């Protein structure tokens, strides 16, 4: 039996480079790998990117990836980070993937914060005006506190400098799903029979384990939840990521 194709999905403000360490690992193991990106995320920061991303929705990104998956000969295993993990869940609900590995997945509709730091992040967005009409970039101090908090300062700067802008509408759909009239991130759990592995870094402040587990629990027997000690939101870029990748590989081979 041939090994499944692997498709890597990145998070917000990013592009395929954030999944490159995992892609190299799986390619070295003989897997066929793909790293598609969402619309306009290949554009450099600037006016063209800003205007292209303004108003873009998670639904647009899901359509982009669903279109890419339609070009493959078989249903792949998707390994998604953050927003990529959320998109993997939406694809699973459509029956488009064979399995999903979700690295610190963003929350889906119905998932509520369980920590004060999550609530503080939401309040920060509330004070930012109509950010859903904008295309925000990354703030280093915020990113270092919430997403890169277990990394050396030098690596924090390197990652932040490579991240880019993102559609404010996408961020609105992530953080304020309860006000999203389109319910973009809503999932019909009765339609999901795809095995999903939720990997949650113990030090992730964006989607901490206590919140991630409430999301995983909604899938019942189709979800496996693992808390990874000492790891942050971007744990696929941390030193020792090979151990995490091997854990993913072992799970993929078991399902």
Q: Per the domain annotation, does 1 fall within a domain?
A: no
Q: Per the domain annotation, does 92 fall within a domain?
A: yes
Q: Per the domain annotation, does 185 fall within a domain?
A: yes
Q: pLDDT tens digits, residue range 115-174?
A: 999 999 999 999 999 999 999 999 999 999 999 999 999 999 999 999 999 999 999 999
Partners of 228 in the β-ladder: 201
Q: Is the pLDDT of residue 196 over 70?
A: yes
d(CA 254, CA 106): 25
User: Are the CB atoms for 106 and 184 separated by under 8 Å?
Assistant: no
Q: pLDDT tens digits, residue range 17-52?
A: 999 999 999 999 999 999 999 999 999 999 999 999
d(CA 156, CA 176): 27
**Token pair 């989607």 in the structure block, residue:** 207
d(CA 167, CA 135): 5
Reduced DSSP (H G I as helix, E B as strand, rest coil) percent helix, strand, coil of the chain, to 5: 45, 10, 45
Tell me how many domains the chain contains. 1
Residue 146: give the domain boundaries. 6-254
Banded pLDDT at 3 (limits 50, 70, 90): confident
Partners of 227 in the β-ladder: 200
Q: Per the domain annotation, does 89 fall within a domain?
A: yes
User: Are the CB atoms for 217 and 205 separated by under 8 Å?
Assistant: no
Q: Per the domain annotation, does 69 fall within a domain?
A: yes
What pLDDT does 2 receive? Answer: 72
Say which DSSP state 16 is in.
Answer: G
Q: Per the domain annotation, does 55 fall within a domain?
A: yes
Q: Is the pLDDT of residue 201 over 70?
A: yes
Banded pLDDT at 180 (limits 50, 70, 90): very high
User: What CATH number is given to the structural domain containing 175?
Assistant: 3.40.50.1820
Q: pLDDT tens digits, residue range 59-113?
A: 999 999 999 999 999 999 999 999 999 999 999 999 999 999 999 999 999 999 9
What pLDDT does 50 receive? Answer: 97
Q: Is the pLDDT of residue 1 over 60?
A: no
Q: Per the domain annotation, does 194 fall within a domain?
A: yes
> Which residues does 87 contact at the CB level (< 8 Å), separation at least 6?
9, 58, 61, 62, 65, 80
**Token pair 């995992």 in the structure block, residue:** 22
Q: Per the domain annotation, does 43 fall within a domain?
A: yes
């Amino acid at each position: 039996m041939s090994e499944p194709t692997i498709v890597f999905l990145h998070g917000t403000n990013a592009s395929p480079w954030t999944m490159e360490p995992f892609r190299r690992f799986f390619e070295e193991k003989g897997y066929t790998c793909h790293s598609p990106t969402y619309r306009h995320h290949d554009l450099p920061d600037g006016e063209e990117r800003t205007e292209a991303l303004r108003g873009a929705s998670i639904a647009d990104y899901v359509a982009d990836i669903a279109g890419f998956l339609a070009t493959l000969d078989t249903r792949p295993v998707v390994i998604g980070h953050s927003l990529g993990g959320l998109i993997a869940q939406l694809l699973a609900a459509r029956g488009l993937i064979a399995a999903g590995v979700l690295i610190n997945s963003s929350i889906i509709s119905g998932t509520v914060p369980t920590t004060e730091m999550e609530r503080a992040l939401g309040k920060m967005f509330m004070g930012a005006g109509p950010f859903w009409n904008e295309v925000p970039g990354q703030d280093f101090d915020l990113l270092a506190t919430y997403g890169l908090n277990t990394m050396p300062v030098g690596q924090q700067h390197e990652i932040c400098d490579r991240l880019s802008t993102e559609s404010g509408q996408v961020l609105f759909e992530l953080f304020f799903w309860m006000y999203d009239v389109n319910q973009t991130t809503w999932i019909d759990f009765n339609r999901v029979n795809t095995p999903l592995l939720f990997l949650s870094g113990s030090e992730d402040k964006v989607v901490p384990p206590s919140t991630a587990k409430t999301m995983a629990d909604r899938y019942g027997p189709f979800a496996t939840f693992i808390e990874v000690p000492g790891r942050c939101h971007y744990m696929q870029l941390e030193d020792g990521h090979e151990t995490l990748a091997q854990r993913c590989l072992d799970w993929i081979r078991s399902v």
